[in-house]
Amino acid sequence: MRYRYFLLPALLVQLACTAQAQRANEGGKLNNYDYVNRELGRKRDGQATTGSPYLLPDWALGTVAMRTGNVQRQQWLKYDLSAARLLWRRPQGDSVELFTTMVREFTLRDSATHQTHVFRLYPEARTELPVLRATFLDVRYDAGRTALLRHLTRQSQTQTSSGALTTIKKSAWSNKTAYYLKLPDQTLLPVRLSTRSVLDALAPQYREQAGAYVSQQQLNLSKEADVVRLLTYYDSLQP
């Protein structure tokens, strides 16, 4: 019933966009929420695109935390990486786009891998790219001092092949990933997952110890998990 929507905590009431994330059909009724999957899988010319713009292919249970401290749990969410849109599936079965200006963090749990993705704002970050202060970054490690953050986007790319009589265009969604280290002073530094890039981003007084730890533990800093191990050790060195 409609009133149930307005009885939700202020978090989702304030954030729900007045425009539906779905289109209306000719009869004026909302289509099933799967319409969103189909429409965002197309380019503007109506051509189907392989893959999905979403972080996860299906609706995922997650939480939405406001800057005011309010938290709404056990909500069905989708995150559109191509446009940084957070969609919420209402109890009625349709979906709305949430305004993210009041959101500080949200999570989505992947039911296939049991991994929980945490997306968080860092509005106090010191960076040469101010847009990053308003960008939800995928938290790979953040124990309060140093953090490994990932900026995920998804773009549609088209490949064209020509035959004797026809030209075939194929479009597919592709990932674009950028990594950042957040230092204790809130500085965000872009890094590559490589030994040199990660070590160069660390404080000079701890760099030698960090390098020795990499060698002793035979860490491969092209892997996220090993970078996290290094940062955990690095944080233990700092007072």
Q: Which of 88, 130, 131, 82 is nearest to 106 (CA)?
A: 88
- Number of residues in the chain: 239
Q: What is the dihedral of CA 184, 187, 193, 199, to 10 degrees?
A: -60
Its sign, for the CA torsion 138, 142, 144, 147, is negative
Q: In the structure encoding, which two tokens stand for residue 164, read together?
A: 């004797």
Task: State the Cα–Cα distance between residues 104 and 109, nearest whole angstrom.
Answer: 17
| Predicted pLDDT at 9 | 46
pLDDT band at 175 (very low <50, low <70, confident <90, very high): confident
Task: State the Cα–Cα distance between residues 130 and 12, nearest whole angstrom.
Answer: 27
Q: In the structure encoding, which two tokens stand for residue 100, read together?
A: 């993210």
- CB burial readout 165-176, b (16+ within 10 A) else e: eeeeeebebeee
Name the range with the highest mean pLDDT among 10-24, 82-96, 102-116: 102-116
Q: Is 41 helix (H, G, I), strand (E, B) or coil?
A: coil
- Mean pLDDT over the full length of the chain: 82
Q: Is 111 helix (H, G, I), strand (E, B) or coil?
A: coil
Rounded (5°) CA angle 218-219-222 = 140
Q: Which of 193, 195, 182, 190 is nearest to 223 (CA)?
A: 193
Task: State the Cα–Cα distance between residues 61 and 63, nearest whole angstrom.
Answer: 7
Q: In the structure encoding, which two tokens stand for residue 143, read together?
A: 């124990």
Q: Which of 11, 165, 153, 188 is nearest to 82 (CA)?
A: 153
Task: State the Cα–Cα distance between residues 79 and 74, nearest whole angstrom.
Answer: 15
Question: pLDDT for 4-56, tens place per residue?
Answer: 333 344 455 555 543 344 433 333 334 444 555 555 555 545 566 777 889 99
Q: What is the dihedral of CA 226, 154, 33, 77, to 10 degrees?
A: 30
- Average pLDDT estimate for 59-82: 93
- Average pLDDT estimate for 69-94: 91
pTM equals 0.79
